[in-house]
Structure 1
Amino acid sequence: MEILAYEGQFEGEAAVWLKAGRYEAAVLPETGGNLIAFRDTKNGFRFLREPGEDGIETFKQSPGVYGIPVLFPPNRYEDGKFPWNGQVYQLPVNEAATGNHLHGFLHTVAWQVEEFGSGKHESYVTVTIKVDENHPSYKYYPFEYTVKLRYGLSEAGLSQQVLIHNDGKADMPCLLAFHTAVNAPFAPESSASDYRVKITIGKRWELNERMLPTGNYQPLGPEEVKLREEGVNPFFAPLDNHYTAVPQNGRNRMELTDTKLGVTLVYDAGTSYKQWMVWNNGATEGFFCPEPQINLVNAPNMDLPGDEIGLFSLKPGEFWEETARFYVKGL
């Protein structure tokens, strides 16, 4: 089995490519450390939404809806306000429709390639970003930290390890999500109607007209119960919904099955993510985003227990890390 890692191009952008047997993947360090492609070249499967016909410039304008973007801090904050330890930090209001801050700072900026290589069983790449007082985002979010992402590719699929370290002298909030954009269909001979998705959701948070949680729950509809249980078509209705994550059989995951081929893509996100966002671009067939998220949307502005809403801190020198894996069943 051919296993290698090398620097190359992805539609004209600097990329690190990984190959392992039938799988290949590409990371774009200069645009958010985004893992922009994960493919099965033997079967022609493309599991993640790539710029493709949209072009790389369209991707750069909306990097949150391709590949695996890193959201830090993730999702929406009311009026851009971020209260923390007696201070209120002002994030830029970058979503005019809601008057909120959206998706943080890391998915649009350049990361550094720390290392890449290959061994007997796996190819890998590690990219990092270090934020201190010299980073443009520090004036809004004045914490010093390092985020490190390692992707590995093997015959077992794609592994992801994310690590956050508090480099500063004060407690910092540890809020993170991945706006993972999954293709449906991922097989060229299949259609969106062939697909069923299952996600380990629990309760649905009620969102107000600004897409912010009220603190209350809403009952799941019949199709959402199927989403949690036996699976449902990803485009059964427009989805921009926020759910608690409730592991099943010890795992917190999304499973996307091509019923025509009998193949399932498993996205095992890890149990540190206590929430899911599920977004399907207005039920537009082609891709959807199962987004594992540490924290409730707008968590610092919510009067709810920190452990319930995933609002926690890293003390100076502390680490947080989690692993995830994409793999395929049925081949």
Structure 2
Amino acid sequence: MREPASGQQFEITAGAARAVITEVGAALREFEVDGVPFAEPYAADRRPPASAGAVLAPWPNRVAGGRWVLDGEPQQLALTEPARGNALHGLLCHVPWQVEERTAASVRLRAPVASQPGWPVPLVVAVEYAVSGEDLRVTHEVRNAGDRTTPFGVGAHPFPRAGTAATDDCTLRLAASSVLPLDADTLLPARPPRSLAGDELDFRTGRPLAGVWLDTAFGGAAPAPGDDRVRHALTAPDGTAVELWADPVFGWVQVYTADDFPGRGRAVAVEPMTCPPDALNSGIDLLHVEPGETWTGSWGLRAR
């Protein structure tokens, strides 16, 4: 029997919650509670459409021209978005990940980032998916397997879904206070971030998605007073909702509205990121990991 394009499928369940993770890209392919979808599903026999559910490391989003500099040494990454001339979404979206641990309710996968053209410091990247109750928790780890400090960023590319409601019938709320203007052709930063106060892109109190088209980087994502998590939400007219929560280190979120998601049409990606597009060049909110050290951060989905 031919293996699906996304490799082996790892189903995890706990009570009413169920998720399916792919071997290729360690991508979230399904998440549902009581049979109701809270992430856009797609078929196992295809690669993730629009990077759906993929792990984005060791950088999320785009690197301009695939060029950046480490310790004074110019680096040239492969241009994986050739039409725009960018290196897109890291180095692990299309490689098979190895299972390290697996239980009925969780799976932990690992993938090495070898020293290579454009990325000279080897890393070991791991991700654990775990379900419980009405929740999916995703924990990322990045370990420096090299001998010098390296910058990096981490992101994820989920397409949350508020049950059976049409995307255009839903309201999106973002815990973001700024927006990074992007060039329409390259989707790279065109100007410094600006405040969302009084801006038409201010989603802090929630806005309907009907007629809204986004491929936009939002910053300043922070927990509400007294909270310890960043919280975004997609809500249907009947109150069914999916919350995307994240550790405060995920201070950026890219929102992308698609009109051609397989079997769905209109769909919305809400992508938690530790840094903005082209951070390997701007240095904005880049993380750094020392030789032998490990960074950890989490985000998740909660059905409501």
TM-score between both structures, scaled by the size of structure 1: 0.81
Q: Which amino acid aligns with 1:82?
A: W
For residues 24-44 of structure 1, give each alpha carbon's deviation from its aligned partner in whole angstroms, at most 9, with x where no partner exists.
111112x1111211112x2x3
Gaps of 5+ in 1: 1-8
Matching residue of 1:211: 187
Contact 1:65 1:181 in 2 (8 A): no
Sort the Cα spacing of 1:283 and 1:234 in 2 relative to 1 into closer, same or farther, 3 A.
farther
Larger radius of gyration: 1
Residue aligned with 1:228, SS: coil
Matching residue of 2:45: 56
For residues 264-297 of structure 1, give each alpha carbon's deviation from its aligned partner in whole angstroms, at most 9, with x where no partner exists.
2111021111211111126985311111111121
- Between the aligned partners of 2:74 and 2:259, the Cα distance in structure 1 is 34
Matching residue of 1:27: 21
Contact 1:27 1:33 in 2 (8 A): yes
1:218 is displaced (CA, Å) by 4.3
- For the aligned residues, what is the CA RMSD? 2.4
Contact 2:167 2:268 in 1 (8 A): no
- Between the aligned partners of 2:168 and 2:140, the Cα distance in structure 1 is 33
In the TM superposition, 1:142-157 aligns within 5 A as 142-157=120-135
Residue aligned with 1:280, SS: strand
- Between the aligned partners of 2:214 and 2:29, the Cα distance in structure 1 is 23
In the TM superposition, 1:55-94 aligns within 5 A as 56-57=45-46, 60=47, 62-94=48-80
TM-score between both structures, scaled by the size of structure 2: 0.88
Whether 1:294 aligns to 2:269 is no
Whether 1:241 aligns to 2:235 is no
Matching residue of 2:88: 102
Residue aligned with 2:201, SS: helix
Matching residue of 1:265: 242
Identity of aligned residues (%): 24
- Between the aligned partners of 2:199 and 2:118, the Cα distance in structure 1 is 42
Contact 1:175 1:295 in 2 (8 A): yes
In the TM superposition, 1:1-331 aligns within 5 A as 13-29=7-23, 31-40=24-33, 42=34, 44-52=35-43, 56-57=45-46, 60=47, 62-118=48-104, 123-133=105-115, 138-183=116-161, 186-187=163-164, 190-208=165-183, 209-218=185-194, 220=196, 222-225=199-202, 227-229=203-205, 231-249=206-224, 250=227, 251-260=229-238, 262-281=239-258, 286-302=266-282, 306=283, 309-329=284-304
The structure with the greater share of residues assigned to helix is 1
Contact 1:245 1:252 in 2 (8 A): no
Q: Which amino acid aligns with 1:73?
A: W
For residues 7-54 of structure 1, give each alpha carbon's deviation from its aligned partner in whole angstroms, at most 9, with x where no partner exists.
xx979941111111111111112x1111211112x2x321222224xx
For residues 47-97 of structure 1, give each alpha carbon's deviation from its aligned partner in whole angstroms, at most 9, with x where no partner exists.
222224xx723xx2x554323443432111111102122111101122233
1:164 is displaced (CA, Å) by 0.7
- Between the aligned partners of 1:90 and 1:182, the Cα distance in structure 2 is 33
Give the count of matched residue pairs: 294
- Between the aligned partners of 1:156 and 1:182, the Cα distance in structure 2 is 14
1:198 is displaced (CA, Å) by 0.5
1:223 is displaced (CA, Å) by 4.2
- Between the aligned partners of 1:111 and 1:69, the Cα distance in structure 2 is 11
